Amino acid sequence: MNATAGASVELIDLTPEHIPHAHRLSVQENWLHRPEDWGHLLELGKGRGAVLNGQLVGTANFVPYGEAAGTCNMIIVDPSVRGIGLGRRLMQAALDAAGHRECRLTATEAGRPLYEKLGFAATGMITQYGGTAVRVEAPDRVEKAGSDDLDVLAALDLEAIGMNRRALLALLLRDGDIWVQRDGSVLQGYVALRKFGRGMLIGPLVACDDATAEGLLRAGITRTAGTFLRFDLTAAGDRLAAIAAEAGLERVSTGLAMTRPGAAPTRQTGPAKVYALASQALC
């Protein structure tokens, strides 16, 4: 299919029935998302699609985290229709869905110029590690979280990232596992494990100190040993790179964390920090 002069591209709301077509686009980009991963993104967010001659040729999604912030993700334009401004149009649709909220995303170098034109600024690097994991020594003081832990998980997460990701954490408790470490009754950190792409994904990883973060990452790796594993470390998580190497994982790629300010800036309000993303799409 080729874009032709005067062709009309229509923007539509993405629904579950569009997932097979959206998945085709992400596969073309060599992204690992399964149809189920697309389902999670559309469950949490508002997706927009670009349709030309009855075929989906582009996507954009915005996931709100409360009223203050959210993430833009899955910005994809089919190669056959690039160069006609469709990427900017889709990004604007995501920003329209965001409204007054702060917007975050993980950018490739190819996407960075567009995002900068739309008011995004770089805030740090994201480093992705992946491969078939081998077991590593892990602490035995972690325990599996349950639905009764949602409130305390959401409170610690909000302290670390400044965004209300309660809906994301509820989804992770439902469709994955969350492991926690406590000091008495006080939550010191958590790590989520779920199926993603070719295997498993570790993240988010949120902890009040480096030692807790290290123990939780080790616990996550041990529980996924023998499978294809991926995680995306933030700048705070750079010190965990040695554990990735110990587990036989390789540095796969890097991405650029970018933020467009909103009406109410988000901020870290306590010692907890984000060491690994939920994913580059969900941040």
What does the pLDDT look like over 172-228, one tens digit per residue?
A: 999 999 999 999 999 999 999 999 999 999 999 999 999 999 999 999 999 999 999
Residues 6+ apart with CB under 8 A from 10: 50, 51, 52
In this structure, what token pair is assigned to residue 214? 């290290």
Chain centroid, CA 166 distance in Å: 14
Whether 271 and 209 have beta carbons less than 8 Å apart is answered as: yes
% of the chain at pLDDT higher than 70 = 98
Strand 250-260 and strand 55-65: the pairing is unpaired
Query: Which residues on adjacent β-strands are paired with residue 125?
Result: 256
Instruction: Tell me how far apart the alpha carbons of residues 11 and 203 are, in angstroms, rounded to a whole number.
Output: 32
- Closest-CA residue to 283 (of 32, 40, 47, 72): 72
Single-letter amino acid code for the residue at 121: A
| Cis? peptide before 79, omega within 30° of 0 | no
pLDDT tier for residue 122 given thresholds of 50, 70 and 90: very high
